[in-house]
Amino acid sequence: MDVSVNKSRKIRSAIIGCGVIAPSHADGYAKADEVEITWACDIVKEKAEKLAGKFKIPKVSTDFREVLADPELNCISICTDHASHSMIAVEAFKRGKHVICEKALSSTHQGLENMMDAHRKHKDLVFSGIFQNRYNKVYQLARKLISENTLGTLLKADLHVHCIRTDAYYEADEWRGTWAKEGGSLMINQAIHFVDILGWITGGVKYVSGTYANLTHQNSIETEDTAVAFLRFSNGALGTISATSSSLLNWDQSIYLNGTKGSLELRDGKILRIELEKKELADAISSDIQKINDEAKVAGPGKTYYGPSHSCQIADFIDSIRSGKEPFITGESARHAVDIVLGIYESHRDKKWVKI
């Protein structure tokens, strides 16, 4: 099957799942050159019609299979509940469509394997998983400092995530707060953004031990609103994760990295403090920090905490379709955070350390 797209030819995309994140994808496609969104699809027709009206999308459907049957369609954004991501992606690859999928790629290990296996059979197709925060230059700098050994041997890395999710939030969509369709709550939906960043900048997590609880949402969800975990990273460093969606602090996140030659503290996507053994090096890096922090203030089209970078990832996805190059965030890369989160759930249930 020829899935190549001539650089001068318009790319036709579809958005499957028209909930709160869909406008961020639509905005990304709207900003890309020679891209047309031809389908808005949702099992609730009114949601698809609303997105179609806002972004002038010509076709509406409640059946993703009808969308994938369109021979003119090149690519899709999957923005549905977590449990359905794998099924839609597998079918899309079979139909010769490029796929960009919202986090979490899947709510189960089997779903992840099904997606990866389907893509391996269609390697000519582009497969990307959404983790837009990797485009934040603050996190890119942190990753560079770790990979270039500027902080020395990494000793520990700690992540804290505080946000608030009300009963009304969970009641707005029937799949939220369920093990069957969301696959969890706090960790797999909110904290996973920063679990991904932690794993990405440190080089990956090898083992995890964790536990979770539902402390304030017993009447609205069957899943977790608070969790903690211990980590052993691939490079031997140790770390922790603590997170809650029952806090009055909304989207307060911090990452603290400590090495033998220095430390770095990040908060809310900005660099709060850097300390290095070589003061002149710290001063040189600090001179760029204000500029990087200022750039991090730019907002995107969706909720403010989504950030501005969905459009960056959509642009990279489109460029990969045209050029045949690997996307900045591959599906394989995006699965690591899901494996970590699922490992925390497994550790809680089985009361043991889990290998990632």
**What proportion of the chain, given as a percentage, has pLDDT over 90?**
87
Mind listing the pLDDT tens digit for each residue in 266-319? 999 999 999 999 888 888 888 777 778 777 666 555 555 556 799 999 999 999
Burial 228-256 (b: 16+ CB within 10 A, else e): bbbbbbeeebebbbebbbbbeeebebebb
35 within 8 A of 25, measured Cβ to Cβ: no
Determine the Cα angle at 274 with ends 270 and 278, to 5°.
150
Q: What is the pLDDT of residue 298?
A: 60
Mind listing the pLDDT tens digit for each residue in 101-133? 999 999 999 999 999 999 999 999 999 999 999
Burial of 326 (0-12, 13-18, 19+ CB in 10 A): middle
End-to-end Cα distance, the chain: 35
**What proportion of the chain, given as a percentage, has pLDDT over 70?**
94
Task: Indicate whether 148 pLDDT > 70.
Answer: yes
DSSP 70-101: -TT--EEEE-S-HHHHHHHHHHHHHTT-EEEE
CATH 3.40.50.720 fits 11-132+310-330, yes or no: yes
Q: What is the pLDDT of residue 4?
A: 57
CA distances, 311 to each of 110, 131, 179, 231, 295 (Å) = 30, 12, 30, 32, 15
Q: What is the pLDDT of residue 7?
A: 63
Give the closest residue to 245 by CA, choosing from 209, 214, 210, 208: 214
Q: Report the pLDDT averaged over residues 71-97.
A: 99
Q: What are the start-end ranges of the H helices in 155-278?
A: 167-171, 192-202
Q: What is the pLDDT of residue 290?
A: 73
Structure tokens at 328: 């900045």
Mind listing the pLDDT tens digit for each residue in 226-252? 999 999 999 999 999 999 999 999 899
**CA distance linking residue 326 with residue 254, whole number of Å:** 30
Q: What is the pLDDT of residue 89?
A: 99
> With bands split at pLDDT 50, 70 and 90, how would you rate the model's confidence at 6?
low
CATH ID of 134-303+338-355, from 3.40.50.1580, 3.30.360.10, 3.40.50.300, 3.40.830.10: 3.30.360.10
Give the closest residue to 320 by CA, choosing from 85, 3, 64: 3
Q: Which amino acid is at 195?
A: V
Mind listing the pLDDT tens digit for each residue in 320-335? 999 999 999 999 999 9
Give the closest residue to 12 by CA, choosing from 325, 321, 309: 321
Mind listing the pLDDT tens digit for each residue in 9-46? 899 999 999 999 999 999 999 999 999 999 999 999 99
> With bands split at pLDDT 50, 70 and 90, how would you rate the model's confidence at 140?
very high
**CA distance linking residue 198 with residue 204, whole number of Å:** 8
Q: What is the pLDDT of residue 302?
A: 53
Task: Indicate whether 8 pLDDT > 90.
Answer: no
**CA distance linking residue 332 with residue 242, whole number of Å:** 25
Q: Report the pLDDT averaged over residues 201-225.
A: 98
Structure tokens at 96: 């010769």
Q: What is the pLDDT of residue 306?
A: 55
pTM, entire model: 0.94
Q: Report the pLDDT averaged over residues 181-188.
A: 98
Task: Indicate whether 260 pLDDT > 90.
Answer: yes
Domain boundaries in the chain?
11-132+310-330, 134-303+338-355
Q: What is the pLDDT of residue 288?
A: 79
Determine the Cα angle at 87 with ends 27 and 355, to 5°.
100
- Adjacent-strand bridge partners of 159: 241, 255
**CA distance linking residue 353 with residue 206, whole number of Å:** 10
Mean pLDDT computed over every residue of the chain? 94
Q: What is the pLDDT of residue 287?
A: 76
Q: What is the pLDDT of residue 165?
A: 96
Q: What are the start-end ranges of the H helices in 148-299?
A: 167-171, 192-202, 279-295
Task: Indicate whether 2 pLDDT > 70.
Answer: no
Q: What is the pLDDT of residue 195?
A: 99
